[in-house]
Amino acid sequence: MVMPETREQRRERFRRLTTEINESFNGKYSEALDQLTGLSKEEINSVTPDTEDSRIYSVLIKVVEEASRKNFTQAELVEDIKELGEVAVKIAKKIPSLASLL
């Protein structure tokens, strides 16, 4: 049986999340991350209207967040994006700084 979080555990989890987000948006790929999270639903649907592919967009955001937070090299980021597949590459190409890497 899973025990519910205490108030202090929840606060600590939120502090960690806030720190991670701040590190992501202040990291190496912060501009790309800003642009990626700013894509409209219409822009995403122009690449792929499939609901499953919307999940790939969410994973792509997490990949760029991690790359920014951990200061991945461009090659590492490109490899991770390509690993997500063709849809992730198409979405990433909508972001000028990522398109230039792909």
- pTM to 2 decimal places: 0.74
Q: Flag whether 74 is in a domain.
A: yes
Q: Would you say 60 and 84 are in contact if contact means Cβ atoms under 8 Å apart?
A: yes
Determine the structural domain holding residue 45 and report its residue range.
28-99
Q: Flag whether 80 is in a domain.
A: yes
Q: What is the pLDDT along the chain (102 residues), one digit of tens a residue?
A: 777 878 888 888 888 888 887 777 777 888 888 899 898 888 888 887 676 777 888 999 999 988 988 889 999 999 999 999 999 999 999 999 999 999
Burial of 78 (0-12, 13-18, 19+ CB in 10 A): middle
Any idea which residue has 């790939």 for tokens?
Answer: 56
Q: Flag whether 22 is in a domain.
A: no
Write phi, then psi, for 54 (nearest 5 degrees): -65, -30
Q: Flag whether 33 is in a domain.
A: yes
C-alpha to C-alpha distance for 23 and 66, rounded to whole angstroms: 9
Look at the chain and report how many structural domains it folds into.
1
